[in-house]
Amino acid sequence: MMLAIPDLLDSGQLDEVRHIVDAGEWVDGNETSGHQSALAKKNMQLAENSDAARRAGAIVLDALGKSPLFIAAALPLKVFPPLFNRYQGGERFGTHVDNAVRLKRGSDLKVRSDLSATLFLADPDSYEGGELVVEDNLGAHKVKLPAGHMILYPASSLHRVEPVTSGARVASFFWIQSMVRDDGARTLLFDLDRSIQAIAADRGQDDPAIIQLTGVYHNLLRRWADC
């Protein structure tokens, strides 16, 4: 399942994150690459353990925790601390698949990458190119969202970032380990949750059918969750 999370950051949060990361220490993006990714990747990245990355990442994590849409879609168990990258001057990231397990340097944190997330931090009109292209059984999907919006997609997907031919593409990226490992099961739970919410808005939360459907949702989650 691919899902856009609109306005994850409001204008104030977006301005604060950009102020922090723009003034931070930028290094070669391959600092955190695996072997396969290093062959395809050419960009810059905010130093992973820098104060700027921690401060900006904390703002992103706080916003994620307050987003009902993100929580319903991802059913997060662990979130890898957000990283930040910048593409300009023809930089790109060729087709690759993300590592199955992400290790946080200098810590014991391990995150199984069930979902990948890209949070756009630059206005799409401020740069040319830089589309995130995610491939699935239905073909290739190009994504270039407004600043503050985020795309969520299976980490198992082949994906790439097209060359940025002018301006600068700035984004945050990270991975999520879900309580529900299987993407198909997560999609079913998300669709059921959205349907329950839509029916409840029309008939009220105390409607017997809503109570029954909510029970079905939680019993499926109980069956599939690993936490």
Domains and CATH numbers, the chain: 3-178 (2.60.120.620), 183-224 (4.10.860)
The pair of structure tokens assigned to 11 is 């204008």
Distances (CA, A) of 216 to 6, 157, 211: 28, 30, 9
Element holding 140 (H helix, E strand): strand 139-143
Dihedral sign, Cα of residue 94, residue 91, residue 126, residue 120: positive
What is the pLDDT, as a whole number, of residue 34?
55
**Which residue has tokens 């977006």?**
14
- Name the binding residues for 2-oxoglutarate: 169
Which residues of the chain fall short of a pLDDT of 50? none
What is the pLDDT, as a whole number, of residue 157?
96
Residue 75, classified by CB atoms within 10 Å of its CB into exposed (0-12), middle (13-18) or buried (19+), is buried
- Name the binding residues for Fe cation: 96, 98, 159
What is the pLDDT, as a whole number, of residue 30?
80
What is the pLDDT, as a whole number, of residue 29?
83
**CB within 8 A of 1, min separation 6: which ones?**
73, 152, 153, 154, 183, 186, 187, 190
- Name the binding residues: 96, 98, 159, 169
What is the pLDDT, as a whole number, of residue 170?
98
What is the pLDDT, as a whole number, of residue 37?
59
What is the pLDDT, as a whole number, of residue 38?
59
